């Protein structure tokens, strides 16, 4: 089994990536060490996404409902790795992902790709109980490379009281990350049916036909993209919503939603246009802090308290990174919908990478009214 020091190192790197913290920050390391010491062995294995460690015993009085897990956050995290799945199941998922990426990217012309609607998702949860991800917040964005962000959907969810045995971990994580009140939050809804229906309505246009799909795979799944380290959580949150919808209505939904890694999408587009990128480089792009605290990015609640661990904000930042990464690859003119509203000095016109893109496209002397309209100037 992995030694405790190696496990902590893995947890530290994961946390630094999630919180966008520096590994040279001694206060950050000290906080992580304190968190680590307070975790049980079960919490530690879930925190690093490792299921090879000790498993809870059914007669353990310290483990509620047979599982103890920390809550995750909207910027990603590793409170629980991929759901335990036989190798055949994982292989099927990989094959499905490759087929979907072909349909979304490889088989499209440039104009078709530019106009294709893609959806980004992020979430925050209260805790994980017996493999069930209990959501507090979800955020979705509809995006095209040509037109930028077209729609956004965001909702806080009241998933009821914290299950017995999970209060400390959930409250501690809430304070350190998403800051969303875990109970009695006035903006949270218990209307799970309405939330589920709105999610399905938004994602319905994301359906992709898989001509040669295996019999075990629906040929028209809905597709949503997620940060790589939040995929299991987002899959779990969607399943939780589907289950609540079924419990309330007594009818199972056509809830065929596939969550894919946004890193794979970005890599596939770069590769199609002759720019092979390493996964490490793509994920560094997606972890940029360039868009942190941009106006109009996070939801009102998180913007008010200046907390970037926001489901809506994370979803929008994925869209911004797509625009930033592909602007020179696909040679398109940026609009106000491609990048966030920012407060800037009127003598400083654009982000550096936007200025570079204009120069490369020979647009530096043109009036960019659409883009400039998205800025709030001050002296």
Give the predicted TM-score (pTM) of the model.
0.70
Residues of the chain with pLDDT under 70: 1-3, 17-22, 24, 27, 38-40, 42-43, 46-47, 49-92, 211-219, 342-379
Beta bridge partners of 224: 259
The C-alpha atoms of residue 3 and residue 1 are separated, in whole angstroms, by: 6
In the chain the domains, ranked by start, together with CATH numbers, are 1-68 (no CATH), 72-326 (3.30.420.10), 342-378 (no CATH)
pLDDT value at position 58? Answer: 35
249: number of Cβ within 10 Å: 13
Three-state SS at 135 = strand
The C-alpha atoms of residue 208 and residue 262 are separated, in whole angstroms, by: 16
137: number of Cβ within 10 Å: 28
Three-state SS at 26 = helix
pLDDT value at position 347? Answer: 32
The C-alpha atoms of residue 372 and residue 377 are separated, in whole angstroms, by: 9
Instruction: Fill in the DSSP letter of residue 84.
Output: P
Three-state SS at 242 = helix
Whose CA is closest to 242, among 290, 185, 199?
A: 199
pLDDT (tens digit, 9 = 90+) per residue, 174-190?
Answer: 999 999 998 889 999 99
pLDDT value at position 56? Answer: 35
> What is the phi/psi pair of residue 348, to 5°?
-115, 105
Distances (CA, A) of 324 to 195, 212, 229, 282: 31, 34, 21, 12
Please give the structure tokens belonging to residue 51. 């299921």
pLDDT (tens digit, 9 = 90+) per residue, 59-107?
Answer: 333 333 333 344 344 444 333 333 444 445 566 677 777 888 888 898 8
The C-alpha atoms of residue 304 and residue 276 are separated, in whole angstroms, by: 40
> What is the phi/psi pair of residue 138, to 5°?
-130, 150
pLDDT value at position 32? Answer: 78
Secondary structure (H, E, C), 5-42: HHHHHHHHHHHHHHHCCCCCCHHHHHHHHHHHHHCCHH
Radius of gyration over every alpha carbon of the chain, rounded to an integer in angstroms: 21
pLDDT value at position 357? Answer: 53
pLDDT value at position 345? Answer: 34
The C-alpha atoms of residue 19 and residue 35 are separated, in whole angstroms, by: 14
């Amino acid at each position: 089994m992995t030694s405790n020091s190696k496990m902590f190192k893995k947890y530290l790197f994961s946390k630094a990536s999630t919180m966008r913290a520096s590994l040279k920050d001694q206060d950050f390391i000290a906080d992580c060490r304190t968190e680590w010491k307070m975790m049980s062995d079960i919490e530690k294995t879930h925190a690093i996404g490792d299921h090879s460690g000790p498993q809870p015993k059914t007669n353990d009085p310290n483990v509620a409902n047979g599982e103890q897990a920390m809550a995750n956050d909207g910027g990603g995290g590793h409170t629980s790795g991929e759901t335990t799945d036989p190798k055949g199941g994982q292989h099927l998922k990989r094959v499905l992902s490759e087929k979907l990426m072909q349909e979304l990217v490889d088989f499209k012309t440039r104009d078709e790709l530019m106009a294709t609607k893609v959806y980004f998702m992020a979430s925050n949860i209260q805790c994980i109980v017996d493999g069930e991800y209990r959501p507090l917040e979800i955020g979705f964005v509809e995006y095209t490379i040509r037109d930028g962000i077209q729609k956004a959907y965001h909702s806080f969810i009241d998933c009821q009281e914290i299950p017995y045995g999970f209060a400390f971990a959930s409250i501690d994580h809430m304070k350190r990350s998403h800051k969303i009140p875990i109970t009695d939050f006035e903006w949270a809804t218990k209307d799970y049916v309405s939330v589920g229906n709105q999610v399905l309505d938004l994602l319905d246009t994301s359906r992709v036909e898989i001509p040669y799909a295996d019999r075990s795979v629906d040929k028209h799944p809905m597709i949503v993209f997620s940060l790589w380290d939040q995929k299991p959580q987002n899959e779990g949150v969607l399943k939780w919503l589907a289950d609540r919808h079924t419990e309330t209505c007594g009818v199972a939904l056509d809830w065929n939603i596939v969550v894919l890694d946004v890193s794979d999408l970005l890599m596939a587009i770069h590769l199609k246009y002759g720019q092979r990128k390493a996964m490490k480089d793509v994920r560094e792009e997606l972890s940029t802090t360039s868009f942190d605290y941009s106006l109009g990015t996070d939801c009102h609640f998180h913007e008010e308290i200046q907390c970037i661990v926001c489901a809506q904000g994370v979803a929008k930042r994925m869209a911004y990174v797509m625009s930033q990464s592909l602007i020179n690859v696909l040679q398109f003119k940026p609009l106000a919908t491609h990048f966030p509203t920012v407060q800037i000095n009127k003598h400083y016109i654009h982000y550096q990478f936007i200025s570079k893109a204009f120069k490369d496209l020979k647009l530096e002397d043109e009036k960019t009214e659409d883009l400039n309209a998205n800025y709030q100037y001050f002296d």
